[in-house]
């Protein structure tokens, strides 16, 4: 068992050790009085000395118990204050996590909406073989129809990014930024495809 260094202990711990020593010494001295032969002058003198030592230990124990009680109350007060601080921080952590989860969910809904939009458009992909004028008009109309939803998705992603920035959620802000970059690149490709040649 490792030895206990007094400087590593709190006042409460030091007083507990002091009390332990005082009680042990009181028990030891109390055991001595039983061995004294009170039938002799020397024994009687020894008994009086032992009683004086017992009284001194009793006074020390009483004083240490009083200090111990104060230290115990201080330790309890500190523990209660720490528990209160932890509970307050736990509530802040919970609120912050809920805010983060809500933004993550918004971003997830946006990504799902993009997937749905993309899935709807992929059915109108380029037909196999040579494109007819009708195919070109249909593809151009489909691409034109994508412009408005793409703009709304970019605006929604920018709004989410701004919320993430205000809340200092850097990871979510980067995710929103990646969605914005991807959407803007897609919009640029659509604009290039629709540009007159």
**125, 142 contact by CB (below 8 A):** no
**Three-class SS of residue 10?**
coil
Confidence check: pLDDT of 28 > 60: yes
Q: What are the residue ranges spanned by the domains of the chain?
A: 6-86, 124-194
Q: In whole angstroms, what is the distance from residue 29 CA to residue 27 CA? A: 6
pLDDT of residue 132: 79
Cα diameter, the chain: 133
**In the Cβ-directed half-sphere of 49, how many Cα atoms lie within 13 Å?**
9
Whether the pLDDT of residue 1 is over 70: the answer is no
Q: Is residue 5 scored above 80 in pLDDT?
A: no
pLDDT at 145: 82
Residue with tokens 């000395």: 49
Of residues 76 and 10, which shows the higher confidence score?
Answer: 76
| Stronger pLDDT, 156 or 191, i.e. the higher one | 156
Mean pLDDT, residues 72-87 taken together? 94
- pLDDT single digits (tens) 32-57: 888 888 888 888 898 899 889 889 88
Q: Are 161 and 177 in contact (CB under 8 A)?
A: yes
**More confident position, 123 or 168:** 168
Summarize pLDDT for 108-151 with one digit per residue, the tens.
999 999 888 877 665 455 556 687 778 778 878 888 888 888 88
By CB atoms closer than 10 A (0-12, 13-18, 19+), residue 135 is middle
Per-residue confidence band for 174, with pLDDT thresholds at 50, 70 and 90: very high
Here the tokens at position 92 are 């802040």
């Amino acid at each position: 068992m490792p030895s206990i260094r007094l400087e590593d202990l709190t006042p409460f711990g030091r007083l507990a050790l002091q009390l332990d020593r005082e009680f042990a010494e009181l028990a030891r001295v109390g055991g001595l009085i039983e061995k004294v032969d009170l039938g002799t002058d020397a024994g009687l003198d020894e008994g009086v000395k032992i009683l004086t030592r017992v009284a001194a230990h009793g006074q020390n124990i009483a004083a240490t118990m009083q200090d111990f009680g104060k230290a115990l109350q201080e330790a309890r007060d500190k523990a209660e204050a720490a528990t209160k601080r932890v509970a307050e921080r736990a509530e802040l952590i919970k609120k912050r996590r809920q805010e983060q989860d809500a933004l993550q969910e918004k971003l997830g809904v946006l990504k799902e909406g993009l997937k749905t939009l993309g899935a709807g458009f992929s059915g109108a992909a380029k037909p196999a073989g040579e494109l007819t004028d009708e195919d070109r008009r249909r593809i151009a109309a489909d691409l034109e129809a994508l412009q408005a939803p793409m703009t709304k998705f970019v605006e929604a992603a920018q709004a989410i990014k701004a919320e993430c920035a205000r809340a200092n959620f850097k990871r979510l802000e980067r995710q929103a930024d990646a969605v914005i970059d991807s959407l803007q690149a897609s919009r640029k490709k659509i604009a290039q495809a629709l540009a007159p040649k």
